[in-house]
Structure 1
Amino acid sequence: MDAEVNTDVVVLGDVEVTRVVEFRAAYVPARTLVPESTGEVWTDNAHWLAPDHWDADSGRAVVALQTWVLRSGGRTILVDTSVGNGRERPGAPGFHRWQGDFLGLLARAGVRPQDVDVVVNTHIHADHVGWNTMAVDGGWAPTFPNAWYLVPAADDFYFGPDNGYAQGVREDDRLIYEDSIAPVHRAEQALLWDGGYRIDENLTLEPAPGHTPGSSVLRLRSGGDRAVFVGDLLHSPVQILQPHWNSCFCLDPAQAVASRRRILERAAATRELVVPAHFGGAGAVEVRKQGEGFQLLAIEVG
């Protein structure tokens, strides 16, 4: 396991991008993470999957917990906020009562909590909303006091109290909403969006449902540069080779496949850099169409 901040700023058009990595390790059996994948796809592609995306000795997928810091139009924008410290997550032992140095890593990237103007939650899962809030006086309060938190309305409803916290299937869903989303609502810092949302002249949000009802992607278009931050649309590069393979966390498998294929089709056609939430290695890839799937061309950010 390692934690780091990439201090080299990547510039895409007029947008500066910094990657902050809280955790990276061979974390879960590869075929548990992507249940439809075959053993052969991992071994046949070991020459490029290992060591950044797959640990051949243990058969585990390498995953990262990371946040992308975007500086655009004079504002500081965070894409997802990792796990958060001291959370009760009994259904996710790896995240239960997690303790990390997320704020320290942000500081090393030159970001103080009061500097953040916008927080993008691509969806409401434990490892994407945890540092929305922090412990204050025995409760939870927004970590970023001056920020608007952009939350997909479909996820806010699905995981919220009006839907019984995702219909009460998992206790963790209630805990996540109550400690990481509800306090932002109470502080009147939540901005729910539906159908699409323009942050500024460089950045737009659009729905990509399936992983969760409100899963979304963030598009960057500035000058001649293009990138798409895809959240959990992808957990592993093998899903680029075979886009009909879902992760074990996708709530609506058919819808997730349709969203994944649509986003990858556009990325291949327009030469968008694809930036998933959990890729190890360089963290981002270029893709091109190849038969019914796609081919990885280059690692671009690292």
Structure 2
Amino acid sequence: MVTQATKTYRIGDASIIRIDELRLAAFQLDALYPGADPQALEHHRDRLDAGSFDPATGTFIQSIHSWLVKTPHHTILIDTATGNDKNRPDIPPLHRLNEPFLARLAAAGVTPEQVDYVLLTHVHADHVGWNTRLVDGRWIPTFPNATYVLSRIEHAYGASLAVGTEPIGAARPDPALGAAVRKPADRVYDDSVRPVIEAGLAKLIAVNGDEVLEGISFVPTPGHSVDHASIRFVSRGEQALFAGDVMHHPLQVYEPSLNSCFCEFPDAALRSRAFVLEDAAERGATVFTTHFAESSVGRIDRRGDGFAWHFL
């Protein structure tokens, strides 16, 4: 379990705080990055702090959390972690959790009713779970006054898979993504997305880089999922990038050829990671990650022909 992060980051007029759910030490190299050359880890081990890698067990240390963004006008959550009571037998670390996520949100000064927007990078189990909570046997929206913003394609794809049909039309993956090697986990759409849609709280968007709120745009970074987005936030000339699952661990900054075992479209995931590394380094953006441990926040700099990660 992660202790509530108290550090507040400033991007222009906005304050940003991590709202913790879980700390994980569940994966070794060959499990998180199937087929990876062991030298990919050995070569960079001295760049991985103890808070990100346990050398005694060879285990990566990771986090699952949300980002609370408070602007002068809005209270925003970016991704909503896993949620309690979710039936995830195929993902044991996420199965039927009972975590004080909402208490941690309250400790940051926000109640569910005060959230204006929920921005979702993609529809995976550990990014949409607190969209809903279980009340009297029904899944209801956790943030009743919020607009939930998500990809129209992610929604259509998830809806088609949930009813067991082959994706067609808008739900069909773009052939440019390359071959899919996996699909999203079962049940996620039904318990964490459908109730939000049925409550009329969702805003389905095209992930094309256009501004969806003042200073906020959804940047296309597909591959980890069918229409994965990274979320760019700009305020008073300062830039943040909420990178979602383009990367799961700092090792991928140094070895961007590594795709996680959770990436659905590996070819596109490689291209999106390369884009994010170049983009963040060029813009000097503060990068807010979803699964890096330690502070989960950092900057990406060029290092020779590659890149380096620096926690903030």
Same fold (TM over 0.5): yes
Output the TM-score relative to the length of structure 2. Answer: 0.89
> Per-residue displacement from partner, 1:31-63 (whole Å, max 9, x unpaired)?
311224332332343333131211111111111
Q: Are residues 248 and 220 of structure 1, via their aligned partners in 2, closer, same or farther at CA, if it must alter by over 3 Å?
A: same
Q: Are residues 64 and 165 of structure 1, via their aligned partners in 2, closer, same or farther at CA, if it must alter by over 3 Å?
A: farther
Matched, 1:239 2:252: yes
Tell me which residue corresponds to 1:277.
Answer: 290
Tell me which residue corresponds to 1:99.
Answer: 98
CA distance in 2 between partners of 1:53 and 1:9 (Å): 21
Tell me which residue corresponds to 2:48.
Answer: 49
Tell me which residue corresponds to 1:176.
Answer: 188
CA distance in 2 between partners of 1:284 and 1:127 (Å): 18
2:187 aligned counterpart, secondary structure: helix
AA partner of residue 18 (structure 1)? I
Indicate conservation of the 8 Å contact 1:72/1:202, yes or no: no
Alignment of structure 1 residues 1-302 onto 2, 5 Å = 2-161=1-160, 164=163, 167=166, 173-194=185-206, 195-296=208-309, 298-300=310-312
CA distance in 2 between partners of 1:40 and 1:32 (Å): 15
Indicate conservation of the 8 Å contact 2:162/2:187, yes or no: no
Indicate conservation of the 8 Å contact 2:81/2:128, yes or no: yes
Q: Are residues 286 and 250 of structure 1, via their aligned partners in 2, closer, same or farther at CA, if it must alter by over 3 Å?
A: same
2:93 aligned counterpart, secondary structure: coil
CA distance in 2 between partners of 1:66 and 1:112 (Å): 17
CA distance in 2 between partners of 1:244 and 1:179 (Å): 34
AA partner of residue 82 (structure 1)? A
CA distance in 2 between partners of 1:263 and 1:53 (Å): 21
CA distance in 2 between partners of 1:282 and 1:48 (Å): 16
Indicate conservation of the 8 Å contact 2:15/2:71, yes or no: yes
Q: Are residues 173 and 141 of structure 1, via their aligned partners in 2, closer, same or farther at CA, if it must alter by over 3 Å?
A: same
Q: Cα offset for 1:73?
A: 3.5
Indicate conservation of the 8 Å contact 1:29/1:59, yes or no: yes
Q: Cα offset for 1:111?
A: 1.1
Indicate conservation of the 8 Å contact 1:8/1:18, yes or no: yes
Q: Cα offset for 1:237?
A: 1.1
More displaced 10-residue stretch of structure 1: 245-254 or 24-33: 24-33
AA partner of residue 147 (structure 2)? W
CA distance in 1 between partners of 2:257 and 2:222 (Å): 15
Output the TM-score relative to the length of structure 1. Answer: 0.92
Q: Cα offset for 1:165?
A: 5.3
AA partner of residue 123 (structure 1)? H
Indicate conservation of the 8 Å contact 2:219/2:230, yes or no: yes
Indicate conservation of the 8 Å contact 2:182/2:263, yes or no: no
AA partner of residue 76 (structure 1)? T
AA partner of residue 288 (structure 2)? V
Q: Are residues 13 and 172 of structure 1, via their aligned partners in 2, closer, same or farther at CA, if it must alter by over 3 Å?
A: closer
Where structure 2 has 5 or more consecutive residues not aligned to the other structure, the ranges are: 168-180
Where structure 1 has 5 or more consecutive residues not aligned to the other structure, the ranges are: none
How many residue pairs are counted as aligned between the two chains?
Answer: 298
Percent pairwise identity: 35
Q: Cα offset for 1:245?
A: 1.4
